[in-house]
Structure formats: C-alpha cells, structure tokens
Amino acid sequence: MAARGLPAALTVAVLGLALLCAGPAGARVHHLTLKDDVRQKVHLNTFGFFKNGFMKVNVSNLSLKPPVDADDKSSSSVGFSLDRTRNDGFSTYLDEEVDYCILNKKPEQGVSVVILLLDFKNDVVKVRFSAEASHLLPKISFVSEENATALTTKPPKSSEDKSDSGKSPTETNKNTDGKDTKSKRSTTSSQSIVEQEHPVHNDRGTISFQFFFNISSDNQEGLYSLYFHKCIGSAEKPRDQQLFSLDIEITEKNPESYLSAGEIPLPKLYISMALFFFLSGTVWIHILRKRRNDVFKIHWLMAALPFTKSLSLVFHAIDYHYISSQGFPIEGWAVVYYITHLFKGALLFITIALIGTGWAFIKHILSDKDKKIFMIVIPLQVLANVAYIIIESTEEGTTEYGLWKEILFLVDLLCCGAILFPVVWSIRHLQEASATDGKAAINLAKLKLFRHYYVMIVCYIYFTQIIAILIKIAVPFQWKWLYQLLNEMATLVFFVLTGYKFRPASDNPYLQLSQDDEDDLEMEAVVTTSGVMEGMKKVKKVVNGSAEPRGEWESTA
C-alpha cells in the first residue's frame, strides 16, 4: 500500500511544486504588493544588521478605500514602525492588545522604536522616536523625487553632509530653530520625544515616498522589524472597515552579504552537514555490503535517507549562496532544492513509520491499521512540504504567508504524532506475544528495542520542535544559525542511533542482544545442533511473570 501510494503522492507534490515556483519568489530584495487588504498590522520583514549594513524602502501607491478625510480627526492613522531588538523574541513595545494602535502611542524613553506616521492633510510623514534611544537608532533619511536615483545598492555616504535629512537625531534636535525650505522638514522636541517631518508625494490620495538608513555604529546593530499599521478611527468613535493598497520594495544588505546577520554562516553550515550525512550514508552502505546475507529491503531504504538528506542540504547551500551574493535565488536551483527537500521529508517519515510498524522486524505484512497510518502520514507530509515551499517563495507580509505558516506548524505536529502510533502498536503487540507464543526472550528483547526507539522519536520531536525553537528565540540575532545547526545535528544523531539499533546482525537479522542484559527476563538455552535433537531448543515457560522450574522442548525448524 505504501509502495503504491508514494509515487502518486510525489507526483501530486511535484506538480504543485511546479505551479508554486512559477510565481514570484521572495528574497532579501523584497517586492510586496497588497491590494484592498483589511489587516490592521502587517509584518513586512525582519532582518539582522551588522555595522555598515543598510535598508532601502520605496513606498508607492499607498491608498485607502474609502479615502481619508483630512478634516476628520477620527480618521484612520496610517504609518510604519521600525522596531529594533537583540534577538528574535517578541518586542515588548509592539506586544500590545489587538485593538491598540501603536501609531497613537508616543515612543517610551529608551525604547528602540521609530514611528513613521503619515499626515494626509499636510502631505508629510512624521518620524517619532525617543531622544534617549537616538544613539541606538540608525539615521533615517528621506529621498525626494529629484534625487531618487541616488539610491543604489550602496548607501550614499555623502548624503549626511549634503542634506540636513542625513543628520543624526541629536544633531537635528539641536537645530530646531533652523528651517530647510528645500526638504520642507521640521524637527520638534517635546520632553524626550523627537519628531521630524518630511514631505511625501500625494497624487489624489495615493502616497509615495522613499527612505533609507545605514547602521553606522556597533550600538545600532540588531534585529530590525518593519511593520505597516492601519488604525481605524479611535476608541471613542470607531469607523467602518477600511481597505488599503500598498506597493513596497525593500532592499536589505549587510557589508558582505544580502543575508541577515544570523543567516550568513548558513551556506557553509549546510555544506558541512551535507558532508557528514554523506559520510554516514557511506558507512551504512559499507555495513550492508559487509553483512550482505543479513540485509533486507528496509536496510536499503534506510541507506537512501542520508544520501537524500545530503543532496537536499547541498542544494539548500547553493540556494543560500546565490541569495547571499545577489539578493535573490536562482529559480532553477530553488526548484531542485524544493524537490529534494520534499522527497527527503516523505522518505524520512515513511522509513520511520515502516520501522515503527515492525515491518520486517516483527512482521513482513502490513496490517490494515498500518496501511491507514501511511494513508495519513504521506498526504500530511506532502501538505507540510507544500506549505514550506509556499512560505519560502512568498513575501512575509502577504496574507497567505501567515496562513500557510500556521498550517505548516499544525501539520508538523500531526505528522510527529502520527508516526508514534505504529511504535505504540508494535510495543503492545510484543507485550501480548511475549507470554503466548513461547518465544518470550526474543519478544521481550524486541520490546525493549522498540521502547528505546519510541523514546528516541519523542526526544527527536521534542528537541527539533520545541527546544531548538526556544533557542532560536533566546539567542542574540547574530547566532540565529545555531537553530539550524542544532536541528541538523539532532537529525544526524537520530539517523545514526536508528541505524545502530536496527543494523543487520548475523545471529538475528535486526537484533543483537547482550547476554547479561538485566532487562532480559529469560534466556534461550540451545541444547544441540546435531543428530535427532538438531534444531531443538529448551525454553522456560512463563506463568504469571515467573519461570516454571520445568522446561519444554520446541522445534525451531
């Protein structure tokens, strides 16, 4: 059943993959278009910056439906927020209740957040930030339409000297009495809040503007998250639902890479781990060739897994290499990576499920219960991989991104739970058989083995799904690659332990027992191997958990 279902599932997945890859793929050079969106907060992007890194943002075709009434004080507040943290945890400043609008809140003292509030009446964008946190925030410069072409892949170094808009927040605050008629920018300071105004282009309710910032010091390094906010009316006078449309281009770059600070080591990491998986597969092939007489089909299926994983990591490294060098992936390499990733995921869960059902270890025929597991696990794995591909190939701010991210998380949990059932069934089967078929020693030894395997799977799931994610949230932004390292190391250890536990052996095709194992409740006594007693063994009978003093003869033929 599983053998017939796998090609069909892979065919469906590959067809879906081809359709998905035909669409635009998101990278570190982002282009997001939203049309008649209803959301109040949109997470546009998160990126880790080192010193001399920069971000360029080009906002165009920003409009509301119905249009904003400039004379209505309760009209919608629209703008952006730039939040800086040291790790991937939740921002304490943005972690507010759903119906609260951050644009209506002044930045608190020492909080590294910049608010860009659009004023449709005066055609300006108001930039607000805390004066105490100005040394922790980058200098945000706005570009007019005349010099918009000055924004290239390198941030303009001379802008700080030529334009007053490039001055640091503290310098700008000192010159509040002066006015720049060319940029139409004003700066005011009220208590510890700095507010700057920059002109925007308003074409009959459609807003366009550009801004950029450069990380100029070590104190400004961190994980920057860009959000779009649309707050409807006020708490006292709520308005009806209002739609917005937005076209935004974002370019982010560190000094030597388009990758985020925590992703820069990933190409080398994936290549290194691919080598380890390839070596483990080579060692496994050597073991199979050495014990050729004890090898079964499932052993070759297990052999295909580390090589498929290694190939997937190689293509993943190539994909990240092109993103690092040019800001977006090469479509061909991305498609090959997605195909190998899909095949690896399906093969991993099929192998785990086959081992868990006891196929070739306890029985050579899958029961109806076992077949149902494959009918559940394979489609779930296909869905999980499709969700992963959609997440990788779409922008973070799209509506589909959040939906498929939740689907991926849920399906992953369901798959991990589903593969535990076969192991539980095998343990129950061995417990029942250990006292009924006269082969208690063998069954109890296998029972111990499957209990160990169950613990291994639980630990693997718990580590990769929970602990590694917690580490990803807790570590500083430049160490986010540790999540991928721990994930791949846990997978490698799981592969090695599975191979060791179920390796082919001469005395038993899938099991080598320690003769003085304390968990073995009874031992077989082989009496003779010649004459009339050839093929006979003496076994102790188990009654109510204890061995009777008398023995019985049983044929092993």
Q: Which of 293, 218, 291 is nearest to 261 (CA)?
A: 218
Which comes out higher in pLDDT, residue 493 or 421?
Answer: 493
Is pLDDT of 151 > 50?
no
Q: What is the pTM of this model?
A: 0.76
Residue 93 pLDDT? 57
Answer whether 31-146+193-253 and 265-523 agree in fold: no
Q: Is 132 left (phi over 0), alpha (psi -120 to 50) or beta?
A: alpha
CATH topology of domain 265-523: Rhopdopsin 7-helix transmembrane proteins (1.20.1070)
pLDDT band at 308 (very low <50, low <70, confident <90, very high): very high
Task: Give the model confidence (pLDDT) of 75-95 as tens digits.
Answer: 568 899 998 887 776 555 555
**What CATH number has the domain spanning 31-146+193-253?**
2.60.120
Residue type, 88: D
Please report, for the chain, the start and end positions of each structural domain, with discontinuous segments joined by +: 31-146+193-253, 265-523
* Long-range contacts from 232-237, C-beta under 8 angstroms, 24+ separation: 232/40, 232/76, 233/74, 233/75, 233/76, 234/74, 234/104, 235/99, 236/74, 237/74
Which comes out higher in pLDDT, residue 527 or 218?
Answer: 218
Residue 276 pLDDT? 97
> Which of 95-109, 370-384, 532-546 is most confident?
370-384
Is pLDDT of 160 > 50?
no
Is pLDDT of 526 > 80?
no
Is the distance from CB of 94 to CB of 102 less than 8 angstroms?
Answer: yes
CA dist 51 and 74 (Å) reads 41
Residue type, 318: I
CA dist 142 and 173 (Å) reads 17
Task: Give the model confidence (pLDDT) of 442-484 as tens digits.
Answer: 667 777 888 888 889 889 988 887 887 788 788 888 999 999 9
Residue 317 pLDDT? 95
